[in-house]
Amino acid sequence: MSDAESPDGPGRAGSGTPPATPAGAGYRTPPATPDGGPAGAPDDALLDALFTQSAVGLVVLDPQLRLVRANSLVEGVEIRAYTGRRFREVFRLDDPDASEQLLKRVLAGEGPVRDHLVRGRLRRVPGDRDFLVSAYRLDGPGGAPLGLLAAVVDVTERERARGREATLAAVRDAVGGSLDVATTCRAFVDALVPGFADLAVIEVVDEVLRGADPPVRPLPPDTPLRRAASGRCDTVRAEEQEQGGDRGGPVGGTRRLPPRTPYALAVGDLRPRLVPLTPETPWLDADPGGARVIAESGAHSLIVVPLTLRGAVLGLVSLYRCGAAEAFDEDDVSLADSAATRAALAIDNARRFEREHVIASTVQRRLLPQTDRAQAAVETAHVLLPGRDSGCWFDTIALSGARTALVVGGVAGQGLQTAIAMGQLRTVIQALAALDLEPEEVFARLRATAARLAEERAALPVGDALQSEPLTASCVYGVYDPFSRTCTVARAGHPAPLVVGPDGTALPLDVPEGPSLFSDDTAPFAPGTVTLDEGSILAFCTAELLPDEPAGRRITHLLAEQPGRDLQHLSDEIVYGLPDHVRSAGAALLLARTGTVSEHLVATWDLAQDPTTPATARVLARDRLHGWGLDEDTVDATELIVSELVTNAVRYGTPPLRLRLLLDRDATLTCEVHDGSTASPHLRHARTVDEGGRGLFIVSMLAAHWGTRHGPGGKVLWTEQELADGETRG
C-alpha cells in the first residue's frame, strides 16, 4: 500500500516507508508443541475462530504496543493499513498517554485491566466513541511477555444513554427547588450546559414573568418573550469573545419570534424541532440576528422545544451544539422534551407563587399606613422592604395628651393569608391603643385575640392547607410621653428597640421579652421605661434587621454617628448596608426622634378641690383660648367642656386636681382634667325629668373624641376638638 493510500501518510509516523515485515508477524505461526513438533492446522483454525466468532472486539498488541491483529468487531480498523503501527496511531484517544501507561503496567506484570472506560475515536469512523477495554498479558514458554490481548466493547450508545439519564437527573435535582422564575431558569440552563448542550437559551413569555396566566396555544404572533437565562460552554464563550459576539443578547432582553423559523413553528404547534444548521439553511434569512449569532458560536445542530403545560405556552428552550461536538439526534430531542416539561412545571409553580406574592404584597401595602402621620412631639421615618415575607408592619398612633404609640411587628410566613393575619393584628392594636391602655395591657388583650385567630385556623377542615400552617407573630409596642419625656415599651417575642441619645450615646433599654403572640406561653408581659432627652432616636425594627449582635451594633453606630441627620436619610443608610438575604426576605424599620410640646401651646393649672373651682377653670380656659386666637364658637364649647369635666372631678374625684389645655399642630384642641381617683365616669343617657347625668353626654356632643386613661397617680379625663380650617392660633 503506498503512502498516498494510507489515511495518515507513511506506515509509521516520521518514517518513510512501512516496515517490510510487520512486527509480531510470528503470531501467525504458532509455537512448537510440547513434544517439539510443529503446531498443526487446528491451532490456526482455533485462532481464526476466536477472532471471527468472538462477541467482542479483539486486539493483539506486541510488546512495543503495536497492532498485530484485530477482528472485524473493532469497526473502522483496516488491518493491512494499520498492522505494525502503535495503538495510539490506530485509535485517537482523548488521553493516549494515560492509556499507554496503563498498558505498560499490564506488560510489566502488574495484573490485567478489566472494564476500563476509554474515550476517543477510530481513524475511519467519525465522532467520539466510548470503549470498555480489558487488557491481558500474553506470556511465552519462558514467561517472557509476547504482547497484550485487549477485549474491546463499543459502549458508546450505552454511555450516551447513561449521560442522558444523568442529564435528566441533574434537571430533576436542580429545577423546582426555587419559587423564583429567574433562579429556576438559571438552574435549568446550568443542568444542561455543558453536559448536554454547548449553548442553551431559555425564554419566557413576558406576561408570565409578571405572574399572568400563560396564553393558550398557539402563541399569538408578536408575543414578546423575555430571555430568562442563557449559558454556554467555555469553548463557545472563547469563540464568541474572539469574534466580539454574545449569543442572543443579555439576559432580560426581549424579542418577538421571527415567522417561518423553527422557533415560531415550535410555539405554534407545540412540537419540538431538530434542526441541522449550515450556512445554507434557508430560514436564517428570516432571522438575520439569529444567523449572526449562530455563525459566531459555530453552532451546527439545534433543538427547539416549547415550554408547555396543560396546553398553554410558557416560553421556549433553544439548545445548540457547536464546533466538534456531535450533532443532536432523536434521542436527544426526547431528552430535551422531558427536561423542558420539568422546567415548565417549575416555572408555572414559580409563576403562581409570584402572582400570590404580588397579591399578598398589595394587600400588605393597603393594610399599612398610606401617608406619613405628623405627631405632636415625635418626628418619624420608616422603610418597608418588600420581600418573601408579607407579614411585617409598622405603625405610629396618635394618643391623647400629645403622646405617640410606636409599633413594629411581623407575622411569620408569606402569602395572602399572612398579610391578612398581619392586618387583623394591626387593626386590633389600633383599637386597643385608642383605649389608652398601657403597653403590657395592650399585649395581654392582643394575645387573647391571637388565641381566637389560632383557634379559628385550627377549626378549618382537615383538607384545607391553611389548617396545618401554624401562626407565629411578634410585636414591640412603645408609648412616648413628651411631658414626662419617657418611653414605655413592651415586647412580645420581638427585639427591643435601639435607643441613641442626642449626643450619640447608646442608651440601655431593659425590656423583658414576653412570649410571642401565638405561643402557648402564658407568662405576663413586663414593660420597660427609659427617660429620654429631646432629640433622642428610637429604632424599632423587625427581627430580620437584627439577626445577631454585630448587626445591632452597626445600626446603633449609624444612628450615633450623625444623630441630628434627617431620619429618612438615616433609615436609607441602614438599608444600604443590609445583606442580600435580609432584603430578599423583607423587613420593616421605624425611626423616631423625640421632641417636646412648645410651651406657648400648653397651659396647665393646679386647681383646688373646691365647689368654686369650675367657675375659676372656665375663666382660665377662656383667657387662654382668646390668647391663642381661637374663634368664639370654639371658646364657648371649650368653656362648657372644661366646666363639666372639672365639676365631675370636684364632685367625684380626689386631689390633686389639674387642668391642661393643649393646642397641637394637627388643628386639634385637647382638654385634660386630672384627679387622684381611679374610678372612671360613664356616659349616661338621662331621662327628661332627671336633673343631672347629662354632663358627659354634653361633652361627647361637643368633642370629636373623649376618653379616660389611668396612671399611677389617678386618672385623666380628656377630650379632643377639631378646629376649623384657617382658625387663628397664637
Q: How many CB atoms lie within 10 A of CB 310?
A: 9
Please check whether residue 1 is in contact with residue 80, taking contact to mean a CB–CB distance below 8 angstroms. yes
Task: Give ∠ CA 479-482-486 in degrees, rounded to 5.
Answer: 55
Give the mean model confidence (pLDDT) for residues 43-64. Answer: 77
More confident: 357 or 439: 439
User: Is the pLDDT confidence value at 684 over 60?
Assistant: no
Fill in the amino acid letter for 550.
Answer: P
The pTM (predicted TM-score) of the whole model is: 0.65
Give the mean model confidence (pLDDT) for residues 561-579. Answer: 83
Please check whether residue 193 is in contact with residue 316, taking contact to mean a CB–CB distance below 8 angstroms. no
Write the CB contacts of 635 (distance below 8 Å, at least 6 apart in sequence): 622, 625, 626
Is residue 666 very low, low, confident or very high in pLDDT (cuts 50, 70, 90)?
Answer: low
Is residue 324 very low, low, confident or very high in pLDDT (cuts 50, 70, 90)?
Answer: confident
The pLDDT of residue 480 is 95
Which of 565-569, 577-581, 598-602, 614-618 ranks highest by mean pLDDT? 614-618
Backbone angles phi, psi at 220, to 5 degrees: -60, 145
Distance between CA atoms of residues 276 and 410, nearest Å: 56
Which candidate, 605, 578, 584, places its Cα nearest to that of 660?
605
Give the full edge-to-edge strand order of the sheet including 129-139: 67-70, 57-61, 145-154, 129-139, 113-122, 91-93
Quote the mean pLDDT of the chain. Answer: 81
Q: Give the three-state DSSP class for 204.
A: strand
Contacts 24+ apart (CB under 8 A), 689-695: 695/644, 695/647, 695/648
Place of cell 506486541: 62
Give the mean model confidence (pLDDT) for residues 164-168. Answer: 88
Please check whether residue 490 is in contact with residue 441, taking contact to mean a CB–CB distance below 8 angstroms. no
**Strand pairing partners for 404?**
398, 480
Give the range among 22-31, 339-348, 483-492, 677-686 with minimum mean pLDDT.
22-31
E strands, 71-198, where? 91-93, 113-122, 129-139, 145-154
Which candidate, 674, 606, 673, 603, places its Cα nearest to that of 641?
673
Q: How many CB atoms lie within 10 A of CB 501?
A: 17
- State what percent of residues in the chain have pLDDT above 70: 83
Place of cell 383557634: 455
Is residue 36 very low, low, confident or very high in pLDDT (cuts 50, 70, 90)?
Answer: very low
Give the range among 52-61, 235-244, 524-533 with minimum mean pLDDT.
235-244
Q: What CA dihedral angle connects 326, 327, 329 and 335, to 10 degrees?
A: 80
Distance between CA atoms of residues 401 and 376, nearest Å: 9
User: Is the pLDDT confidence value at 328 over 50?
Assistant: yes
Distance between CA atoms of residues 669 and 661, nearest Å: 7
Distance between CA atoms of residues 356 and 354, nearest Å: 5
Note the pLDDT tens digit of each residue in 175-198.
988 888 888 999 999 999 988 999
The pLDDT of residue 80 is 63
What CA–CA distances, in Å, run from 504 to 414, 561, 578, 634? 37, 6, 21, 43
Note the pLDDT tens digit of each residue in 398-446.
998 889 999 999 888 777 888 888 889 999 999 999 888 999 999 999 9
Q: How many CB atoms lie within 10 A of CB 35?
A: 5
The pLDDT of residue 547 is 60
Is residue 234 very low, low, confident or very high in pLDDT (cuts 50, 70, 90)?
Answer: low
